[in-house]
């Protein structure tokens, strides 16, 4: 089955009870048993629920995995991966990282005795310098947030394999429409399904997908033991979102390209960060591991003025000033005052998060309206 069919049918069966084409929302915590232990595959909804199972099968299918797991948020999914580790273990992670992931690693898991090395992985050779006998996990985000750096998944996977270390890839920005990390050698794919997979800014959810049965069993154990599951209503919404992932992504990419090119030609704009430009430092890796370049675009203004950037995001009418990304509607964010406000100025400027940086999640509205909105807002 090809990807555009998998988003609709992958891992799905019509409901056995009445043939419902869409999976019913099994809003139940428990299931009747005829004699103790004799049930129809479901005993208690923390452990499993038929609506969640349908979604987990869809997750596995679209990422070319064998097993999918759904969680109550992206961070709950990441938390479950970290629970594979124990005190004394070490993790090598990208430094341009989703802020909540950084907070979970440093404020929770460092306290439990896990050591993290945050490094720029645009140069994959650097990774090996940080691997020792305690290293158990490499954590990669690509494209990164908000600088749109690209990390070579295939080479990172071969390094991980050589040292017998797990490679987990946060595939939230790219989605499986653009890149499928398991096929490139990653062991675990993670999603904030809150973003593109759900696609309609109406739920918070996380996902993990793996190929290996033993690894899946450990993660299912953690999912059930720790209990950070999603409810059946949200599972239904995510399933509905996934059905249009491919056509939404196609338009996100088209509009992202149009917006990136408009900004690159605007006299008031200094830098535009978008992996589709040939001038992007890892454009060739993006081209080889991604089908297209996505709908996330960041930019800075000439003069790098804080007040001017605030004016621009306030002036926008179709783009909504908001956290998050990946919905059908276009959003704009100002990392310095929003997502990255807690990072010291010196630290954030090292990775390029400067005062005038604006991050756009380009939606699927009409391209002309989006460009007209940016033109009037930038002035």
Ligand X SMILES: *Cc1c(COP(=O)(O)O)cnc(C)c1O
349 SS3 class: helix
- Cα separation, 320 vs 272, in Å, equals 20
Piece of 81-89, 152-160, 188-196, 233-241 that binds ligand X (CB under 6 A):
188-196
Could you check whether the bond before residue 143 is cis, i.e. omega within 30 degrees of 0? yes
How many other C-beta atoms lie within 10 A of the C-beta of residue 5? 11
Residue 72: CB minimum distance to ligand X, A: 8
Residue 192 binds ligand X, judged by CB under 6 A: yes
The contact pattern for ligand X, residues 64-103, with x = CB under 6 A and - = no contact, is ---------xxx----------------------x-xx--
Q: Which is nearer to ligand X, 45 or 192 (CB)?
A: 192
Among 26, 67, 98, 196, the active-site one is: 98
Q: Single out the residue of 57, 83, 195, 334 in contact with ligand X (rule: CB under 6 A).
A: 195
Helix or strand run (H / E) with residue 90: strand 90-94
The answer to whether 189 touches 171, Cβ cutoff 8 Å, is: yes
306 included as an active-site residue? no
Total residues at interface with ligand X (CB under 6 A): 16
**Pseudo-torsion of CA 323, 326, 330, 336, nearest 10°?**
30
Q: Of 16-55, which residues contact ligand X (CB under 6 A)?
A: none
Q: Single out the residue of 7, 145, 175, 201 in contact with ligand X (rule: CB under 6 A).
A: 145
- Cα separation, 314 vs 293, in Å, equals 27
Q: Single out the residue of 204, 229, 239, 353 in contact with ligand X (rule: CB under 6 A).
A: 204
Piece of 131-139, 167-175, 251-259, 365-373 that binds ligand X (CB under 6 A):
167-175
Handedness of CA 124, 129, 130, 133 (dihedral sign): positive
From residue 229, how far is each of 98, 301, 370 by CA, in Å? 21, 42, 37
Residue 25: CB minimum distance to ligand X, A: 21
Piece of 34-42, 105-113, 122-130, 187-195 that binds ligand X (CB under 6 A):
187-195
**Which residue reads 């370049």 in tokens?**
293
Among 52, 195, 348, 359, the active-site one is: 195
Residue 170 binds ligand X, judged by CB under 6 A: yes
- Cα separation, 134 vs 184, in Å, equals 24
Give me 30's structure tokens: 């428990």
Residue 1: CB minimum distance to ligand X, A: 27
Among 15, 31, 46, 243, the active-site one is: 46
- Cα separation, 218 vs 192, in Å, equals 20
Residue 300 binds ligand X, judged by CB under 6 A: no
Q: Is 245 exposed, middle or buried (0-12, 13-18, 19+ CB in 10 A)?
A: buried
Q: Which is nearer to ligand X, 12 or 156 (CB)?
A: 156
Q: Which is nearer to ligand X, 42 or 118 (CB)?
A: 118
Residue 212: CB minimum distance to ligand X, A: 22
Q: Which is nearer to ligand X, 61 or 171 (CB)?
A: 171
355 included as an active-site residue? no
Q: How far is CA 47 from the centre of its chain?
A: 24
359 included as an active-site residue? no
- Cα separation, 96 vs 24, in Å, equals 40
From residue 270, how far is each of 92, 102, 232, 300 by CA, in Å? 32, 28, 46, 5
2 included as an active-site residue? no
Among 79, 96, 152, 170, the active-site one is: 170
Q: List the catalytic residues.
A: 46, 98, 170, 195
Residues of this chain that interact with ligand X (CB under 6 A) are 73-75, 98, 100-101, 141, 145, 170, 172-173, 192, 194-195, 204, 206
């Amino acid at each position: 089955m090809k990807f555009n069919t998998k988003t609709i049918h992958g891992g799905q069966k019509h409901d056995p009870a009445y043939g419902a084409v869409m999976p019913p929302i099994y809003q139940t915590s428990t299931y009747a048993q005829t004699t103790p232990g004799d049930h129809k595959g479901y005993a208690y909804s923390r452990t499993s629920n038929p609506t969640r199972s349908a979604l987990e099968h869809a997750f596995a299918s679209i990422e070319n995995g064998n097993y999918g797991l759904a969680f109550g948020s992206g961070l709950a999914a990441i938390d479950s991966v970290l629970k594979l580790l124990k005190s004394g273990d070490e993790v090598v992670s990208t430094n341009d990282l989703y802020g909540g992931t950084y907070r979970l690693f440093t404020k929770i898991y460092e306290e439990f005795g896990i050591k993290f090395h945050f490094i720029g992985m645009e140069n994959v050779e650097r990774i090996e310098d940080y691997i020792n006998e305690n290293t158990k996990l490499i954590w990669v985000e690509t494209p990164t947030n908000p600088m749109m750096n690209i990390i070579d998944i295939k080479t990172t996977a071969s390094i991980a394999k050589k040292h017998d270390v797990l490679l987990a890839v946060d595939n939230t920005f790219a989605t499986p429409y653009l890149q499928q990390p398991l096929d490139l050698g990653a062991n675990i794919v993670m999603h904030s399904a809150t973003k593109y997979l759900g696609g309609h800014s109406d739920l918070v959810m996380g996902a993990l997908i793996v190929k290996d049965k033993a690894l899946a069993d450990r993660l299912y154990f953690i999912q059930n033991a720790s209990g950070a599951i999603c409810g059946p209503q949200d599972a239904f919404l995510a399933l509905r979102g996934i059905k249009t992932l491919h056509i939404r992504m196609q338009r996100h990419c088209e509009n992202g390209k149009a917006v990136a090119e408009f900004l690159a030609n605007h006299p008031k704009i200094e830098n535009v960060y978008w992996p589709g430009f040939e001038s992007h430092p890892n454009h060739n890796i993006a081209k080889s591991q991604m089908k297209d370049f996505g709908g996330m675009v960041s930019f800075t203004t000439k003069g790098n003025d804080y007040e001017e950037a605030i004016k621009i995001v306030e002036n926008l009418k179709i783009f909504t000033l908001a956290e998050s990304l990946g919905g059908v509607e276009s959003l704009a964010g100002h990392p310095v005052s929003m997502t990255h406000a807690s990072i010291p100025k010196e630290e954030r400027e090292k990775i390029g998060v400067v005062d005038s940086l604006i991050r756009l999640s380009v939606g699927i509205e009409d391209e002309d309206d989006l460009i007209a909105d940016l033109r009037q807002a930038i002035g």
